[in-house]
């Protein structure tokens, strides 16, 4: 690629970096962003939010800083629910692609 060409992004920086678990990492990053947005909208400190979610504050801090190892997507969803948010999981119709996709949408 020369300097004048534009490369279209997949929207997943983890995929661009060649990580084997790129889809999982993107979903976790979106969940972490949702948790941060909820904390901000409610004016919660990390200590208050961690207590509500049943996590040690250092673990919440690591999660919010992109260190997702040791926390599952289910636990992150549980944390969002403990912050007072409803979670709806919808499985759509068959995809035209060989593999469906996972998408996280959130309203704060």
The number of beta carbons lying within 10 Å of the beta carbon of residue 34 is 22
Task: At 5, give phi and psi (nearest 5°).
Answer: -90, 145
Question: What's the confidence (pLDDT) of residue 57?
Answer: 97
Assign residue 78 a region (left: φ > 0; alpha: ψ between -120 and 50; beta: otherwise): alpha
Domains along the chain?
Answer: 13-82 (1.10.260.40)
pLDDT for 29 beyond 70:
yes
Per-residue pLDDT, 105: 75
Q: Give 57-93 pLDDT, tens digit per residue.
A: 999 999 999 998 789 999 999 999 999 999 988 888 8
Can you give the pLDDT at residue 16?
64
């Amino acid at each position: 690629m020369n300097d004048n060409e534009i490369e279209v992004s997949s929207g997943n920086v983890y995929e661009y970096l060649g990580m084997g678990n790129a889809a999982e990492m993107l979903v976790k990053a979106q969940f972490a962003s949702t948790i941060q947005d909820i904390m901000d909208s409610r004016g919660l400190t990390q200590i208050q939010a961690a207590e509500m979610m049943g996590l040690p504050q250092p673990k919440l801090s690591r999660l919010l800083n992109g260190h997702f190892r040791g926390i599952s997507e289910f636990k992150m969803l549980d944390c969002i629910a403990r912050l007072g948010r409803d979670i709806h999981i919808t499985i759509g119709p068959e995809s035209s692609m060989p593999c469906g996709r996972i998408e996280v949408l959130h309203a704060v």
